[in-house]
Structure 1
Amino acid sequence: MSLHLHCSILGAMFLFFLNSAQAQYFTPITVSGSAFARTDTHLYISSGSNGRSGGTEIQYKQFFSLDLTVPWTTSAPAFKQLSDGPQQYLFPAAFSQDQETMITFHSGTPFARRYSVSKNQWTDSKTVVSGGGNQGVSAVTDPTTGQVYLAGGYSDPQRNSMDIYNFNHDAFVQNVLPASASAFPNRAYYSNVWTSKRKSILYFGGYNSTLKEIQNFNSITEFVPNGNAWSTLVTSNTGPSMRADHCMAISDDGSTMVIYGGRPYDGPSSGEVFMFDTTSQIWKQGVSGPPRLYVACTIAGDNLIIWGGIDAYGTLASPAMLIYSMSNNTWITQYTPPASYLPSGTSPSTPSPSGDKGESSINAGAIAGGVVGGLAVICAIVLFFIFRRRQHRPKPVETDDSSDCKLSPGSDGQNHELESMRAQLQYQQEQLELQRRLLGTPQNQPHLQVFQQQHQQQQLHQYQDGTFNYQPPIVYAAANSSSPHTISSPDSIATSSPDLNGIVAHSSGLVHSGYVDGGSHYIEAKSVAPVIYSPPPPVVSAATIHSSKGESNGLWEGRIPGNPHAILEN
């Protein structure tokens, strides 16, 4: 397999494990009216209700965070479950200056609750608010001082104060709202954000103290905490109509404020998207999405992220998140962390006002780079093991049959000796073959039969006589065919007889020299190549063997059955 194919497989495996990891994310119950707030890296969402779906309202205590430093899809957001929060809905939340503590207001009993990020633990706040709880308010943190501002709300027609919460003292102080109704009329169910570009709080929408329409259409109210100053921003073009229960978020650098959804005074629930440039004070309308009310929202990079709420029919929205790309003016399904988001570079100095994120110096571009780098490392490891396996793969043994026939330089002497032995063996085989043919001639058959009978009698006598000693092999020597004489020997087992016609036997297995014809002739035995047959040998009568060249085939074919045990000498 090629490296490219290995890397493709590893990439597919990586995506599979990534999807498997995403499948392990927490899946919250979809609700509306949640409290939410931002840190540099996470969006925290607490509680909410079912929006009276089914006719009965149910409030939940679920609490979870959304990781903004990792990629995810709208169908599988990177949610993480945390310790349960207050059982409430339509209430605000904000973070401390160090982003270590989140506080919720209008939390039921007690009025406020604090959450420790490092401990994942909730504690009750000791703060109290005069005049009862503030309803329909929003909260936003000034990151320069760490103070939280809650303006207006309603509990009675005289609710016209600005409550300021101090994290260090866990206490409220109150300021009176401006007397001029044109600056910031008493309102509820509005939205607000902190803009670092203007060092101020921007307010948009809501109802008045009697939950009626606010007459100041298309107006943005600004509050500058440093000078305790209120003003209305003048816009050069038409923006969204006044509304309530909408989403309001600010970009990382504070340059763009976004309005999404809500309940306009002059129409049904909206899915409109409007972007406001805080420097030029110009509105720009985007592509509308599904109508939503009471959502949790924030901006990460140039992505507007939306979760929960109720739709235009008053039922709970789809569990899937919504992502709007402000730079491309389109709705997308894949979240990719911006290049400025990097967990190791997180700066804790900027809090998250009212579900919004202030400026952050996070540089998380290495997340995508880390993924690619990780895949590259894995591919390199696989390549290393492939090369290593190929190097250690057994190599085929080259065989050359011709090498078997090649002689080594030092083997000449051995080869010569082997050739000599082979020649000797061949010569002996030829001699034995000739001797067997000679024994098979017809004129020698009577003598061989007599010899076999004598040998059988000796064998029978051997079994009858217990004193019989072992008889060594019998050896015959063929005398010169021109002078056939019987050789006399004192140790022979056969007497001299002309019938033997020159063939004698002796017990030593060797042919001796001796006198014949009564001692008148002396015959010297020739050397022979003895052939010894295992005892007991058959009795045979020997006769002078005559053979001629050219008769061997005929003589061999005329041989009687049997195995004559004799040694012949030419």
Structure 2
Amino acid sequence: MPFKPSRRHLHTATYVDNKLYILSGFDDSIGIKGIAGIAGKQFFYLDVSVPFNTQEILWHDLTNINLVPSHIGAGSVKGGTNNNTIVLCGGRYLANAENKASVYTFDTRSNSWSIPTIIGESYIRRRRDLTAIINDDGKIYLFGGSLIGYNIVVNDMLILDTINLSWGKSSTLNAPIPRVYYGADLLPNQTIIYIGGETFVNQSLTLNEVYMYDTINDNWSTKKTSGSIPSNRAGLSAVLGLDGQRVIIFGGYRNNRIISAQDSLYTLNINTFEWTIPKIFGNIPGPRCLHKANLIGNYMVISFGMGYQQSESDILLLDISNNDEYKWVINFNPPISSSSPTSPTSPSSPTQIFAQKSAAAIIGIVIGSLISSILLTVGIFFLYKWTKNRRIQKNETSTSDNYNLQRTSVITATNNYNQSSQGVISTTLTNNKVYNHGRENEEIMKIHDNEDNPINDENIISEVTEIKNHGQESISVNNNQSSSIQNINNINNIDNNVVQYLKDEMIQVVRQEVNQLINSDNSNNNY
């Protein structure tokens, strides 16, 4: 037979790892507001990693492993090293409990309770009817509440450091008046907002001002509100909207009367502090107070509470995915990012991050080295060509001068202009040119993934600039110019040899550099 929990209020509801854990509270099947003096001890959860309908909820019972005594009005948060621990603070016990600790922890992975040892425990007076808020530094803030055994409502702030396991207190300068049953939530700037509540004499407090506690600078401030200000109320719930720019409140009571369903839902802009009544679609549920609300995916999930009809579900779903309008629904669709009910998404490990950065560094260095080598080779080649051309020009000038001198001597000696003219040497030397064909599509380097060796010499494909010499024509010379022709041919041979040598040297240098980088990266990963 499926587990069916009792109706309750002043319970705790903690969302951890795709599960909504419900613990204790007044058992309303016994009596209104616990008149019979009995608090529930039930402990169970709702799996929100799978879709569900609020009319057919499958609860999972954990009551048989509950170490915590029956209690009401406690505060609870998600914390721990891996954010998979429930931290339960305060609350009032209605039975003779053997372990009346102020703090309990529940490990959701091992399903086990424990009582931590906390420095300063003896100086802390346990309290109830408050809301626990944890910030990004792992500190739990417990404001106000009623001191157990003294019937006194207070306005100080207890701080539980979950990292160093020690108690502390905040400044009370400009703190709001003492209160219980207020709404509270942590804003993106690490400020806690406090809304409404009730004094010791059952007087519901106004919402024309809200109170801000800066957890970073340890100071209080008060903000006046405007717009459609809700009526005074206590026993309400508050969650931060999906856009991080508004707080949504629901339910509550005023002077011992439950707020009507039509007056239950408001939003507060946390930049302008203006109250508005959102557009609402769907079947509006009945009113309730002293319930809990959690933000899960696109929904404000409201659990249990006091005042709703037997025909209504213990769970209410308000779809807040559209900031301009909200909708009451009965079908829950889990967040897309949910991977499994027991395995939260974790960021990349330092080793993974290092490996990613190392691979990127290798690629960048190799490409940079290859481009630098190509540019250096081209520069050396042009310098070499310029020097060679200068040498050719000097040789041509010397040959031409010798030829003219010989011809002048012949003419002077014979003084015969009818002598058959000697063949005129016509030499044409076309400058060598460097052509880079298809460079716009050239793949300088390609690195393939390989399970055994991520970067391999065979994976590196490098193309060196092809050097072509076009337009060189044969030169017809006489015997006096044979020396120059031989010099030119020798230079061309040297040209080709130098280019090939530079090619080989460049590829060898790049290959050695890649191997060094691979060895260095593997050594770093071993650490």
Bucket of the pairwise TM-score, normalised by the shorter protein? 0.5 to 0.7
Alignment of 1:470-485 (within 5 A): none
- Contact kept? 2:191, 2:214, Cα under 8 Å: yes
- What secondary structure is seen at the aligned counterpart in 2 of 1:244? coil
Alignment of 1:78-157 (within 5 A): 78-82=58-62, 83-84=65-66, 85-96=68-79, 98-107=82-91, 108=93, 109-127=100-118, 128=121, 130=123, 132-143=125-136, 145-155=137-147
The reply on whether 1:256 has 2:246 as its aligned counterpart is yes
Query: What is the total number of aligned residue pairs between the two structures?
Result: 318
Q: CA RMSD in A?
A: 2.9
- Contact kept? 1:304, 1:324, Cα under 8 Å: yes
2:521 aligns with: none
Change over 3 Å in CA distance of 1:234–1:160 after alignment to 2: closer
Displacement of 1:348 in angstroms is: 6.0
Per-residue CA deviations over 1:330-353 (Å, capped at 9, x if unaligned) read 32111112334444984469xxxx
Identity of aligned residues (%): 21
Per-residue CA deviations over 1:224-251 (Å, capped at 9, x if unaligned) read 1111122223434123222111122223
1:53 aligns with: 31
2:274 aligns with: 282
The reply on whether 1:323 has 2:336 as its aligned counterpart is no
The reply on whether 1:173 has 2:168 as its aligned counterpart is yes
Change over 3 Å in CA distance of 1:308–1:217 after alignment to 2: closer
Displacement of 1:253 in angstroms is: 5.1
The reply on whether 1:42 has 2:19 as its aligned counterpart is yes
CA–CA separation in structure 2 for the residues paired with 1:138 and 1:228: 18
Displacement of 1:149 in angstroms is: 0.3
CA–CA separation in structure 1 for the residues paired with 2:303 and 2:260: 15
Displacement of 1:114 in angstroms is: 1.1
Aligned AA for 1:233?
K
- Contact kept? 1:187, 1:207, Cα under 8 Å: yes
The one of the two structures with greater contact order (alpha-carbon pairs below 8 A, sep at least 6) is: 1
- Contact kept? 1:241, 1:265, Cα under 8 Å: no
Per-residue CA deviations over 1:30-51 (Å, capped at 9, x if unaligned) read 2111112223523221112223
Change over 3 Å in CA distance of 1:124–1:25 after alignment to 2: same
Per-residue CA deviations over 1:100-133 (Å, capped at 9, x if unaligned) read 2211122441222111111101112334363632
2:295 aligns with: 299
Aligned AA for 2:70?
Q
- What secondary structure is seen at the aligned counterpart in 2 of 1:165? strand
Aligned AA for 2:40?
Y
Change over 3 Å in CA distance of 1:32–1:199 after alignment to 2: same
Aligned AA for 1:133?
R
Report the TM-score when normalising by structure 1. 0.51
- What secondary structure is seen at the aligned counterpart in 2 of 1:132? coil
Change over 3 Å in CA distance of 1:30–1:348 after alignment to 2: farther
Structure 2 segments unaligned to the other structure (5+ residues) = 94-99, 348-527
Aligned AA for 1:106?
G
Displacement of 1:139 in angstroms is: 0.6
CA–CA separation in structure 2 for the residues paired with 1:256 and 1:340: 23
Would you identify which runs of 4 or more consecutive aligned residues in structure 1 move more than 6 Å?
Answer: none
1:365 aligns with: none
Displacement of 1:140 in angstroms is: 0.4
Displacement of 1:166 in angstroms is: 1.5
Aligned AA for 1:111?
S
Displacement of 1:72 in angstroms is: 0.3
The reply on whether 1:336 has 2:333 as its aligned counterpart is yes
1:68 aligns with: 48
- What secondary structure is seen at the aligned counterpart in 2 of 1:149? strand
CA–CA separation in structure 2 for the residues paired with 1:78 and 1:142: 31
Change over 3 Å in CA distance of 1:153–1:316 after alignment to 2: farther
Displacement of 1:266 in angstroms is: 9.1
CA–CA separation in structure 2 for the residues paired with 1:213 and 1:100: 35
Aligned AA for 2:113?
W
Per-residue CA deviations over 1:482-525 (Å, capped at 9, x if unaligned) read xxxxxxxxxxxxxxxxxxxxxxxxxxxxxxxxxxxxxxxxxxxx
Change over 3 Å in CA distance of 1:348–1:26 after alignment to 2: farther
Change over 3 Å in CA distance of 1:131–1:300 after alignment to 2: closer
Per-residue CA deviations over 1:438-489 (Å, capped at 9, x if unaligned) read xxxxxxxxxxxxxxxxxxxxxxxxxxxxxxxxxxxxxxxxxxxxxxxxxxxx
2:307 aligns with: 311
CA–CA separation in structure 1 for the residues paired with 2:163 and 2:60: 28
Aligned AA for 1:28?
P
Change over 3 Å in CA distance of 1:140–1:168 after alignment to 2: same
- Contact kept? 1:101, 1:116, Cα under 8 Å: yes
Change over 3 Å in CA distance of 1:255–1:129 after alignment to 2: farther
- Contact kept? 1:222, 1:231, Cα under 8 Å: yes
Alignment of 1:398-547 (within 5 A): none
The reply on whether 1:232 has 2:251 as its aligned counterpart is no
- Contact kept? 2:258, 2:288, Cα under 8 Å: no
- Contact kept? 2:134, 2:141, Cα under 8 Å: yes
- Contact kept? 2:227, 2:275, Cα under 8 Å: yes
Aligned AA for 1:30?
R
CA–CA separation in structure 2 for the residues paired with 1:324 and 1:202: 21
Report the TM-score when normalising by structure 2. 0.55
Change over 3 Å in CA distance of 1:324–1:160 after alignment to 2: closer
- What secondary structure is seen at the aligned counterpart in 2 of 1:60? coil
CA–CA separation in structure 1 for the residues paired with 2:314 and 2:269: 29
- What secondary structure is seen at the aligned counterpart in 2 of 1:203? strand
CA–CA separation in structure 2 for the residues paired with 1:135 and 1:48: 11
- Contact kept? 2:74, 2:131, Cα under 8 Å: yes
1:244 aligns with: 234
